[in-house]
Each structure stands twice: as C-alpha cells, then as structure tokens.
Structure 1
Amino acid sequence: MTDFLLELRSEEIPARMQAGARADLEKLFRKEMDAAGVALGQITVWSTPRRLALIANGLPDTTEAVSDETKGPATSAPDQALEGFLRKTGLTKDQLEVRDVKGKPTYFAIIEKPGRATRDVLADAIPAIVRAFPWPKSQRWGAASISTESLRWVRPLSGIVAIFGEDLVECEVGGIRSGYATRGHRFHAPGEITIGGAHDYARKLSACHVIVDHVERQDLIRDEARNVAAAAGLTLVEDEGLVIENAGLTEWPVPLLGRFDEAFLEVPPEVIQLTARVNQKYFVCEDASGALANAFVCTANIDAVDGGEGIVAGNRKVLAARLSDARFFWEQDRKTPLSTQAEKLGRITFHEKLGTLADKVERVAKLAEWLASEGIVPNCDPALARQAAELCKADLVTEMVGEFPELQGLMGGYYAHAEGLPDAVADAIRDHYKPVGQGDDVPTAPLTVAVSLADKLDTLIGFYFAAEYPTGSKDPFALRRAAIAIANLLTANNIRISLKSAIWKAASEIALSFMTTGKSPVRTHQQRFLINEFFNNSGQVSSIALSDKRLSALPDQVLITETLLLEFFADRLKVQQREAGVRHDLIDAVFALGGEDDLVRLLARVHALQAFVATEDGANLLAGYKRAANILRKENWQGIEAELSQTGEEDPLSEVDDPDLAVVIAAKMADRHAAERGLTYTPEPAENALLDALDSAEPEAAAAVAREDFAAAMSALASLRAPIDGFFDTVTVNDADPAKRAARLALLDRFRAAVHTVADFSRIEG
C-alpha cells in the first residue's frame, strides 16, 4: 500500500473559495479513483493562499480488473440506433449480450477492463481533475488564453507536485508538467524545495515558513490573537469567521496588536468593529469593563525583523483612514432628522407590485398602530407605534448604511437616540428586523414587537397577495424566514391574534398598492372608497366595485392569499417545531380541524396533544379512535337519519299492547330510557357505559378547550379509553337489527366527534 501526494500551486486563491475548493478536490479525486476501481483509504486535503494539497494514504499499487456495463437499445430498435451504440462502445454486434428488460429484449455492452498500475491511473486522473475543477470564478492566462480550449484556473496555475510513494507521477496540464519541486513562503523561502513524498511534505514546507494545514493555521491565529490582546490587558472579541478568513490569507500567520486614536471611539462600536473587520480583516478588543478598546489585532504573513512594528504602523494608518470615513458619515447623518431622511424613501421601489419603500412604511405604520390600539400587542402606545414604524426604514438612505448595509436598523436606533426621540421608539427602530433567523433574539419590548410584527406581516402578506410565492429552494424575498419570525414573535410574547384577521387587515392596505398606473400612484377617491367598502364589508363587493376589473378580482385574490398563507404557516411550523422535538403529524392534526389560526393557542394544543399521545391512555384512545373511524369508513356512514329511515321502527313510547304484563311494562320503561338517548332499543351495558362516559366527557372537554386548558381536555378524553375498549370487546356494531346497527354507528360517530374537539386523530401516525 502506497501514499500519494498531489499539490496544485497557483497565485493567490481567494480565502472565501478555499473551503469549497478542498471539498471539490476530494470529490473529483474520489470520482476518478472509483471509476478506475482504486480502493481508497484516508484522504486529507489542505489549502493555503497559494496551493491545494491532497494526500491519499494506502493506495494499492495496481487496480482491480473491472467490468463496465452499458445498456443499449432494444433489439427491436431501428438499425441506426444499434449502429450508434456500437460506435460508442467500440464493439461489434456479436460481442453484445441480450437481456430481458421489462419484457423487452435489450442489448448490453460488457467491457472488461484489466487491472492497471495505480501510478498510470493517477497520471490520467490529474489532468481530468484540473480541467473539471468547478471554481466559482476562473481565468485563462498567457499566450494560450486566446483559445477557449486553454486551461482555466482560479489564478494562473504555476506548478504540480504528484508523487506516488517516492515515484513521480508524470503528467502535463496546459503546458505545466508535474515534478518533485514546490516553493515555500513567498518572502522567507522563495526558492524551490524538493519534496520526497507525502511523508515529508508538511514538514519540509513548515521548515520553509508554510503551514500547509489550514486547521493548524486557524488554531494558531485564534490562540495568538487572544494572547497578544491579553498581554495588553484586553479581551479579544471572538470572531470565528475572521479566524478562518485570516487563515485563508496567510501561510505563516503572525497576529500583532495595534492601537488607534481614542477619539474614534465616539463612533458607535458596531461601526468600528465592522470597519475593522470588513475592510481590513482585523479583530477588535474590549477593555476590562466590556467597552470597545482603541485596539485591533491584525494578522501578518511574515516574521518581521522589527517584531512587527512597521506592519502595525502601516495598518494603523490604513485603519485610521477608514475610521475617519466612518466618523464623517456618523457626523453628517446626524445633521438630518430621521423624519427628513424618511421622505427620500419614496424614490426607492420596494417591489413593482407593492410600490415604494414609502408605501411599505405607511402600510407598516397603520398595521403597527392597529396592533397597538386593538390591544393585540399589550401595553403598546398606538401613537408611538406609528411613529417608530414611520421612521424604521429611514436609515436606509443614510451615508453610513449606504457604506455598511449590515448596520440597517442599528444605525436608525443610534440616530433616533441622538436626536432625542423616546428610548422605546429608538429601540424599536434598532430591533425591528429581529428575529432575523433561528437562534436570533426575539424582541419583547411592546413597541418593538408591534413594529417588527407589522413589518413582517406586511412583507409576507404583500408578496403572497402579489402572487410572489417561494418555490422549491428559491425564496428571493425570504418569506420562509418571515413566517418563522412571525411565529417566534407571537409565541415568545404570547400574542393572541387571528392570522385571518391579520391577513385581511394587511390586505386592505396592500390593495391600494395595486391601484397604480405606471410608476406614479394614481389612487382616486373612488378607488379608495371602493377598497375600504370591500374590506369593511368582509369582502362583499358592491355592483359599482364589480365594474372595476381590478377591484372585482379582490375577493378571490384575498381568499387565495388566506388559504395559501395558512398552508404556508402550517408547513413552516412543522419545520420549526420538528427541530424543537414536536411531531409534524400532531401539527397536522390540529390544523386539520379548521378555524384554528391563533398560533399561540394552536401550539399549546399541539404540545398538550404530544404529551397525551405519549401516555398509555393516549395510545389506547388513539387505537380506539382509529378502529371506530375505520368501521365508519367501511360502512360508508351517512348519519343516523339516513339509517333509521330504512328501519320502519315505531315510536318506542307507543301504547303497550298488554299493560297487565309486568315484563312488557318493564321493557317499555327501558325503551323510554333508551329513547331519551335517541335509541329505539335497550342498549347493552358496555353501550350504556360509553354513552355515560360521552355524556360526561363531551361537555367537560368542550369547556376545557373553551378556556384553553388543553391538558384538562385531554384528561377528559382519557376517561373514554376504558368505555371504548369495553364497547369493542362486547358490543356487535354491525348487528342484524338495522336500528341497532344505525345507533351504534351513530355512537361511534359521536365518539369520533368528541375526540375531534381537541384534534383530528385521523392525522396522527401510529
């Protein structure tokens, strides 16, 4: 068994592409080896800015013989099809096999490939790997680049090292021949280094100031950055993404601490951190109090003779220029009130069907005010909710957010505080984008919740109203994320709202965005009147409105939006709750009842249902339910009236033929008791027991559901477990007497309906 080393050396590979390149190199290598029948052991892939390296341990010296099988045309196919297949495989007709495929005789080509020397296989595989490499961006270079057939690589490829054991794997790609020689660090060891094989590759490069293992470089940067910060009495602000990026920019990383002018600390700390991170790839530090310090950690790529003083000084100058720009933006933006900035939003199109950003802000403001005034978001001032919503997008037109879009919302909060707006308004502007994704903090301040919820409802309902739905893996407007954010806001803050009412309220404002001509809103008083009339009358369109083609489409449009959005929320909840350990079928079981569009109540019901079905009573009741449902389905149950109409039974309280007979009187008394329950016969004991249990459990479960005590509702249903078991053990449902059969089917239907007060058990698996 022999080890193989492959190094592909080039000019600088962008740090952001290196992880993908490592994965692609291993994938392509495995594909080539699998096709050749080479058994693979451990594979290690490394990257630096100037090289990709792969080491495959324990390769066989020769490959196994393999049989390559190719399916051809049917024997009944035209001669031209067979001729094409023979040309493709290089065989003659008498060399083909005929096999039966789904009843049709079909040609197959079986080509036996003898074993080969693995070194020869590798020599063929390397050019194939290089030419098939899927770089996100690549280039041609040199005189050969005039041809579209010339080699493409992320940056000009300059060398190939390919060693199998200690033997060179000879190959050539785009005029570059493989060899034993590579190069070390660009400055510390720029000359050629002869590699003996996979066993000494990393050691020889390390001696020449190249740490080829990217994980080792990451660990070094992480640890040394902490150390240099700690030596200055500071704490490094951890940033794993920056660790990985710096490791992708250096072959011999040396973290160094520098200082910048304290005067820059008047700029918000997030701006300083983002400036240092995005523009310069620097870490920032905090002092003992947790405040941002006037310090940064940069990562050099050399061991400087002066200990890095010159490098730090140069980086300090560059950072100072960047921070000066940031301070200028900060000072300029504060000269203009947010209300004035917001006026510029009318120039920015939010979406061609939904108007400008100013249109969206107005809709969000009305929706936030409604959420507050209706008490849907408790303890929220409607006037402040409107004010915060009207200003929440104003920072999008500021200089700072234009430079750093990542700071949207955050800068609006800073500017609101700076101009003396109420703290609650400033905080709502700052946090109204939250929660952005799973794991993000969910706002709890009432004003922030109102604005955040209004913003996300408008986005989600607006795009659905405009028929811009997410499809497959495509979700350009992040509607899935918006739905999860809405669910998190509602459940974390126990906000009780009907999704249907929210859809209709938001749609009443969104509809106005559709009443446009070209790019300029043309909203006549008549159009406003008709739209308001439509929504205020629960979707009833007047004869006047019907004459406007755009308005006459509103009823269907809103109902389609409502239906699709409720299905969308159900799907999103399944995904979200599955990660929280909640079964998706239980969410289906609750949604299937219909009319349940309060997410807080829905999830409370789901959680109670999950706890119940996990108990013995729950499992047995589910089994009883499914048995009852199966019987009703097999009997095609149409209802008690349809069944009794076929029996011809008389009223059980009709005159007794022989009142002197005690036994007849006793029987009629029993029939009277049965009639009070809708029966025309004397029920069996188990039947009576189930009737008694239902008489008790039905109102108890219904009352518990009404007061949203779903655990109590489950407990009431649990009392039906023993009676339904006893019923099935001793009572014949399909009795020969049509009246008994009808009544017992009706009883099972009643049992099923009682269970459905909590959930549709037919949707529950198991």
Structure 2
Amino acid sequence: MPIFLLEVGTEELPANFVDDAIEQWRSRLPQSLAENSLTTEAIEVYGTPRRLAVLIQGLPAQQPDREEEIKGPPAQAAFKDGKPTKAAEGFARKQGVELEALEIRPTDKGEFVFVRQSIPGRPVAEILTELVPQWILGLEGKRLMHWADGDMKFPRPIRWLVTLLDEAVLPIELVNGSETIKSDRISQAHRILHPEPVTIPQAADYATCMRSAFVEVDAAKRKAKIQEQVQASAQQLDGSVAIYPELLEEVTNLVEWPSAVVGTFDSEFLSLPPEVNITVMATHQRYFPVFKGVREQTSANQTEAVSTLLPNFITISNGDPAKSDIIAAGNERVIRARLADGKFFYKTDLAKPLESYVSQLEKVTFQEDLGSVAAKVERIGKIAEQVERQLQLGEDERQIIQRAALLCKADLVTQMVYEFPELQGVMGQKYALASGESEAVATAIFEHYLPRGASDRLPQTLAGQVVGIADRLDTIVSIFGLGMLPTGSSDPFALRRAANAVINITWTADLPINLHQLLEQIAADFVAAHSKTNLEELLQQLREFCLQRIRSLLQEDRLIDYDLVNAVLGENDPAYGLRVLKDLLDVRDRALFLQTIRNNGTLDKIYETVNRSTRLAAQGDLDTTQLNPVNVVRPELFQKPSEQAFYDALVQLVPQTQAAQEQRNYQQLVDALTQISPTVSNFFDGAESVLVMDPDPEIRRNRLNLLGLLRNHARVLADFGAIVKS
C-alpha cells in the first residue's frame, strides 16, 4: 500500500513551535484523512529545527466508491398531476440522471425528491495534492511571520518542500507573492556535517536517508541520545547531572545531530549561591549543570537541598564533534562573563540589608492603573492580616507573616534579580538570611511564589502559605476590578493559575479560610480606591471565576466525576455557591466523600429515593434550609400510614443530620438516609403508597413538604438532583 512523505524545510524554527506543530499534525491529520475516506496503518510525525515532516503508511490507492443520496425540491413542486415539472427536470439535469431515477420520500418537512448517485473514489495522489497546502498553512503558532513579498505566514520562511508518494513526486506548489516553492525529492541535510543536498529515492527511505546525512528527524530518538550522552559525560567527570525536563525539551528541538560537549568554569564562582550558577547554565545558556551527586529536580530554580556543584557543564552542540574543544572554549568564554556578572551583582546587593530595598519598590510599576509594587506590598500585608484573623493566629506567627509580607518583593530591585528575573524569591531568601532575618521569614519570602509551575511543590510553611495567598488574591481582585478578565486561552496575568494556587494551598494545608469573606473585603477596598467599579458586579465575577476554578480542580486534579462536582457546587444555586466559597475544605471533603461512596456502592442505596424526592420537591415551595418537620408538615392531613411513617422518620432524622452537619461527619448522614430509604420507598411505591400530586392543594403541598424535608437533609451533603445514576 502507498506510503506518503511530506517534508517542509524552513529556516531555524523556534524550539517551542516544533513540539506544537508535531502535536497539531498528530491530532489533525488523522481527522483530515478520515474526512476524505482515507484509512492508514500508521502516521509518524517528525520535527527538527529546520524541518517538519510526516510519513503516512498504508494509504489506499484511491478513495472507496460511495453511494450518495441527494435531496432535491419538494415533491409538490417537482410533480404536478403525476407529471414532472421544470423543477424536477432541472434537478435531474443538474445531477446528470434521467427523470426515472428520481425518488419521492417522506421527511419531517413533508415529501421531497431524492436521487441516489454512485460516486467513484478519487486517486489518493489527487486528494493529497489538495490537502498538503492546508496541512502546512493550517499550523498555528504564537508568532507567525511574512517573508518575501507575499502574504504567506509561517513561524520561519519555508525554503523547500518534499512530497513523495512512494517513489513519485507529487506536484505541489506554495505560492508566496513572486516566490514559488515547488515540491521535489531533494531535502537539505545537516548544515555543517553534510552541506550537500540529499536526494530521497522513495518515501519509505526518509528517516534512513536523513540519518545518513546527519539529521535525526525523530525527536524521541534525539532526546534519548541527548540523555545518554549527557549522563555518560557526567560519569566521565565522576559526577552526575540534573536533566531538567524543560531544558531537555528545548535542547532536543535546537539540534539535528546532538553531540555532548563538556566545558569548565573557574572554581571561584562556586562561592555563589548554587541557584545562580544553575540559572545561568540551564536557563540562560541551555547547559546541563554537573554535580558530585544529585537527586532528580523538576526545575532549574528549585532550591531544595542539592549536592555540591562541580565547576563543569555539559552543552549539546549541533556542530562538528571533531571540533568539540573549540566549541567548549567558546561556551566557556560566554559562561565566565555571565558568572562574573552574577558575582558582581551578588557582592553589590549584599552591601545593603534587604529591607533597604523596600523603598525602591515605589519606582517599580506593578500595573499602570494599580500603582507601584510598593503599593501592592502594602495591600498584601493588609490581606495577610485578614487571613491571620480568620486562622486565629498567635502574635509570633503574625509577626513572621507581616515581616515576610513587607520583604517579599524587595529583591525585585536588586541587581541580581533585575538581570536574572527567574531568581526572584530565591535571592530574596538568600539576602534575607544574609541581612539577619529569621529562617522563618526568609523561607516565607521564597515560598510565597510557590507553586511557580504545574510541577512545582506548594509552600510548606504557614507564613509562606498566607503571604502567597494574599499576593495572589490581590492580583486577582485588582485585575478583575479593572475589567481585565481572562477570556478563552488569553490570560496575560495568569489569573487562573493564581486562583488554582490559592485553592490548592488551602486544600493541601487544610487552612479553614472563608474565601467569600476575603473576596468581599478585598473587593470593597478596591472599589473604595477605584470608585468607577461596581462592587456587586465585581463580586459576582469573582465568585463565578473561583467556582469555575474549584470545579476544574475537583474534576481534573482530584478526579471527581463531573456530576458529583455539580452536586457539591450546586447548579444555578447562588446559596450553594456561597457555601462553597465560605468553606473550601468542606467542598473538597464532600466531593471526595461522594466519590468514595459511589465507588463502594453506598451511593446506590440512597440514590433512587433521595433523587426522586429531590426532583418532586422542586414542584413545592419549601425553603431549602428547613430541616424540622414540626410546623411545616400537618399530620392531620395524612391519609395513609406511609405518610405518618415518613413524618416520624424525618423527626428522628433531624438530630442525626444536625450532628453530622456540625461535625462534618457525612458518613453519619448517609447512614441515616440509608435507614430512612425503605420508609420513603413505601411512601412512593409500597402497599400504602400515595399520589404526591393530589388534586387537593393542601394535601399536595403537605406531601411535597415531606419530600422537600428529605431533600434538605440530603442537601447538607449534596444536591442529589444533579447526580446521574451510575
């Protein structure tokens, strides 16, 4: 079966675009082929800094023939007195069939004329010729560019095109103004190791041909080769290497034929904090640091204890391995200059205590309409005080938090962080300790930035947690207050990530925080300073945003079923939403508990009766907070013993529900609901069953109130009306 090769040759692509493009083609090409009735055995997508390629194996020679049914005019318009009209004749002529081929069939909109046609499949070469330009120009990226004098856009100029169906070149052209890129079988090899073009005889030979020309097109194989070479080089130095995932991904897409090169730097620079050296090497120069011994790390600026750095680094070259000494010397000159800068900045910054930098934050703008970073620091301190009151903290802990809040942004105006912004918080911790601040304050300065990314750890100290929450809540409320809400994939201030951090910190540290109250206080302060903002509208936006984040975290991170998340959040129920925001720990616990009793089958025992009661109770008018049947249900209206039994069970349920509510013992509540379930079932379907929707309005209301009370008891745990039967 035919094999198709497409290679798009370019100038050096941005490293992050290579991965994005590969993923886009992996998801889109199978769908594109399927839409054209083309099956495949395998689709392999490749990418290097100079090319994107796809190899499609097991294509058919052509599409399968297919039957197509075409709808024509209404039967009344097509035939009159049993004879075809001009409408019928025109439809038949357009479809290229005789009038006898027309069929009349009923539809939802009446009878229409139809015709069946057999459409022969098109050759696969013809279809691919149409699809390839769509695949190429359909790739999306953050920064696309024009080149030459045309309107074509791509991350970098396209220089050549290879399109082979087995051994045949498919004639495809990309026209960009006065420039036309025509497909061929000639590709470009490694710039240095194989400067001559390479001819690909047939599609199946692609990867082999390119490897013979010193280009490894398979990103996974390049990555594995880099890891192997880096680790081997470190072992030769009697050390080990930290392979940071982000650095490995980037380096993989910067080279076509990786070659590890070992370099050295002066031992004097080891006196710098290791995070400075690591940041210079890994983040700025894309080198792998070497240690005497190291445990796995997730990011280059992580400050967990690491083993001693060696005065060596490993870089991945895309050049000639025979010239590794020259390459190493060039890299050593660069890193020496960068480390010398770092040493100077470090010495200069240490000349003053960290607190002396706080006043300089007045000169740094946080956001044009929100003032300076100094103003933000002041707001962080006030919000931290509000959190302290909620947590009922002692004076010693409050002093640590307020000191950390004052100093948390001071390192932003140091020379080191100005030059290496990745080190904010890291250097704040170092400078705080050097200035005589307590270990607790210094740690909180660093931790208030955590988590920096999805894979980073959360703050471990209470001070770091409180200051981090205060910092993020200030940002969220302030940016929302300016009307700059995140939309779609656009979130320039990373507000979603900030809200996720607030919720995750609260859940992980079991902090009894009333988020609703905090949002009200912070929003009120914002409106007092920005009178044009409507407080109620701002609060509504903040509540909805935070509830969306809670929903996402419960489903995606905690793996709670979507309907159970709906049940604990309350669908279109503002009161339930407020309950969630007032007690983040409670919503987490209720969601996890619901998932547990679903998994062990307990939920099934109460689902039918509670869900049925909940749905019927919606037709009544009982307040959802009412639990006690006394003065709500009138026993004198009972007509069946099942009603009295239901009432008595509800009376006994009240203290059990209240105790479960006060102690958050939801198992106790579920046990009580399980006990009442047979009584409710008898009320609905037993020998003494009743008609809930009785013609008598008083009797009907009385029975709906019984059901409403059961709903309310269950509602202490969740809105059972939102739960779908498993």
TM range (shorter): 0.7 to 0.9
Distance 2:697 2:172 in 1: 88
Which residue of the partner structure matches residue 82 of structure 2?
Answer: none
Number of aligned positions between the proteins: 673
Q: Quick check: 1:47–1:212 contact (8 Å CA) kept in 2? A: yes
Question: What TM-score do the two structures reach when normalised by structure 1?
Answer: 0.77
Distance 1:678 1:30 in 2: 65
Q: Quick check: 2:391–2:511 contact (8 Å CA) kept in 1? A: no
AA matched with 2:59: L
Which residue of the partner structure matches residue 83 of structure 2?
Answer: none
Distance 2:182 2:120 in 1: 28
Q: How does 1:539-554 map to 2 (within 5 A)?
A: none
Distance 2:530 2:116 in 1: 64
AA matched with 2:720: F
Q: Deviations over 1:734-753 (max 9, x none)?
A: 57988766655544444334
Which residue of the partner structure matches residue 150 of structure 2?
Answer: 148
Distance 2:695 2:207 in 1: 87
Percent identity, aligned pairs only, is 31
Q: How does 1:405-484 map to 2 (within 5 A)?
A: 405-484=421-500
AA matched with 1:148: G
SS at match of 1:720: helix
Which residue of the partner structure matches residue 270 of structure 2?
Answer: 265
Q: Quick check: 1:590–1:758 contact (8 Å CA) kept in 2? A: yes
Which residue of the partner structure matches residue 85 of structure 2?
Answer: none
Q: Deviations over 1:300-355 (max 9, x none)?
A: 2244336x223222211111111112222222222343333222222333334433
> CA 1:106 to 1:736, structure 2 compared with 1: closer, same or farther past 3 Å?
closer
SS at match of 1:328: helix
> CA 1:102 to 1:347, structure 2 compared with 1: closer, same or farther past 3 Å?
farther
> CA 1:112 to 1:288, structure 2 compared with 1: closer, same or farther past 3 Å?
same
Which residue of the partner structure matches residue 559 of structure 2?
Answer: 581
Which residue of the partner structure matches residue 725 of structure 1?
Answer: 681
Q: How does 1:270-285 map to 2 (within 5 A)?
A: 270-285=275-290
Distance 2:519 2:401 in 1: 19
Distance 2:535 2:35 in 1: 56
Q: Quick check: 2:617–2:711 contact (8 Å CA) kept in 1? A: no
Q: Deviations over 1:9-39 (max 9, x none)?
A: 3433333322234455667876886687655
Which residue of the partner structure matches residue 658 of structure 2?
Answer: 702
Which residue of the partner structure matches residue 621 of structure 1?
Answer: 606
Q: Quick check: 1:385–1:425 contact (8 Å CA) kept in 2? A: yes
Query: Offset of 1:287 from its aligned partner?
Result: 0.9
Q: How does 1:80-159 map to 2 (within 5 A)?
A: 94-95=93-94, 103=109, 118-119=124-125, 137=143, 145=148, 147-148=149-150, 154-159=155-160
AA matched with 2:722: R
Which residue of the partner structure matches residue 191 of structure 2?
Answer: 186
SS at match of 2:195: coil
SS at match of 1:305: helix
SS at match of 2:44: strand
Q: Deviations over 1:388-444 (max 9, x none)?
A: 111111222222222232222222112212211111111111111223455532223
Distance 2:31 2:605 in 1: 52
Q: How does 1:292-441 map to 2 (within 5 A)?
A: 292-305=309-322, 308-373=324-389, 375-377=391-393, 381-441=397-457
Q: Does 1:57 align with 2:57?
A: yes
Which residue of the partner structure matches residue 291 of structure 1?
Answer: 308
> CA 1:338 to 1:625, structure 2 compared with 1: closer, same or farther past 3 Å?
same
Which residue of the partner structure matches residue 754 of structure 1?
Answer: 713
> CA 1:6 to 1:486, structure 2 compared with 1: closer, same or farther past 3 Å?
closer
AA matched with 2:525: E
Q: Deviations over 1:423-471 (max 9, x none)?
A: 1111111111223455532223121122112112222233344444333
Which residue of the partner structure matches residue 537 of structure 1?
Answer: none
Q: Deviations over 1:151-173 (max 9, x none)?
A: 66655544444333333444555
AA matched with 1:20: D
Residue in structure 1 matching 2:636, options 674, 680, 684: 680
Which residue of the partner structure matches residue 248 of structure 1?
Answer: 253
Distance 2:365 2:73 in 1: 56
Which residue of the partner structure matches residue 722 of structure 2?
Answer: 763
Q: Deviations over 1:564-588 (max 9, x none)?
A: 4333333222211113132444444
AA matched with 1:499: L
SS at match of 1:2: coil
> CA 1:210 to 1:104, structure 2 compared with 1: closer, same or farther past 3 Å?
same
Distance 2:633 2:357 in 1: 72
Distance 1:740 1:126 in 2: 71
SS at match of 1:55: strand
Which region of structure 1 is more displaced relative to structure 2, 716-725 or 311-320?
A: 716-725
Q: Quick check: 2:247–2:286 contact (8 Å CA) kept in 1? A: yes
SS at match of 2:238: coil
Question: What TM-score do the two structures reach when normalised by structure 2?
Answer: 0.80
Residue in structure 2 matching 1:604, options 568, 579, 589: 589
SS at match of 1:209: coil
Q: How does 1:487-506 map to 2 (within 5 A)?
A: 487-506=503-522
> CA 1:367 to 1:94, structure 2 compared with 1: closer, same or farther past 3 Å?
same
Distance 2:497 2:395 in 1: 27
Distance 1:616 1:128 in 2: 51
SS at match of 2:542: helix
Gaps of 5+ in 1: 77-90, 516-549, 640-673
Q: Quick check: 1:8–1:53 contact (8 Å CA) kept in 2? A: yes
Which residue of the partner structure matches residue 163 of structure 1?
Answer: 164
Distance 1:152 1:493 in 2: 48
Distance 1:127 1:32 in 2: 12
Distance 2:206 2:696 in 1: 90
SS at match of 1:497: coil
Q: Quick check: 1:184–1:208 contact (8 Å CA) kept in 2? A: yes
SS at match of 2:351: coil
Q: Does 1:711 align with 2:696?
A: no
> CA 1:230 to 1:720, structure 2 compared with 1: closer, same or farther past 3 Å?
same
AA matched with 2:270: L
Query: Offset of 1:232 from its aligned partner?
Result: 1.4
Distance 1:31 1:588 in 2: 32
Q: Quick check: 2:390–2:513 contact (8 Å CA) kept in 1? A: no
> CA 1:108 to 1:254, structure 2 compared with 1: closer, same or farther past 3 Å?
farther
Distance 1:738 1:244 in 2: 70
Which region of structure 1 is more displaced relative to structure 2, 95-104 or 15-24?
A: 95-104
Query: Offset of 1:223 from its aligned partner?
Result: 1.0
Gaps of 5+ in 2: 77-89, 97-101, 295-306, 624-629
> CA 1:384 to 1:503, structure 2 compared with 1: closer, same or farther past 3 Å?
same
Q: Quick check: 1:608–1:714 contact (8 Å CA) kept in 2? A: no
AA matched with 1:19: D
Distance 2:707 2:652 in 1: 16
Q: Deviations over 1:245-302 (max 9, x none)?
A: 2232222211122221111122222222221123322111211372222211111224
Q: Quick check: 2:8–2:53 contact (8 Å CA) kept in 1? A: yes
> CA 1:318 to 1:719, structure 2 compared with 1: closer, same or farther past 3 Å?
same
AA matched with 2:202: G
Which region of structure 1 is more displaced relative to structure 2, 725-734 or 738-747?
A: 738-747
Q: Deviations over 1:469-489 (max 9, x none)?
A: 333433333232222222222
> CA 1:377 to 1:713, structure 2 compared with 1: closer, same or farther past 3 Å?
farther
SS at match of 1:721: helix
Distance 1:138 1:747 in 2: 64
SS at match of 1:294: strand
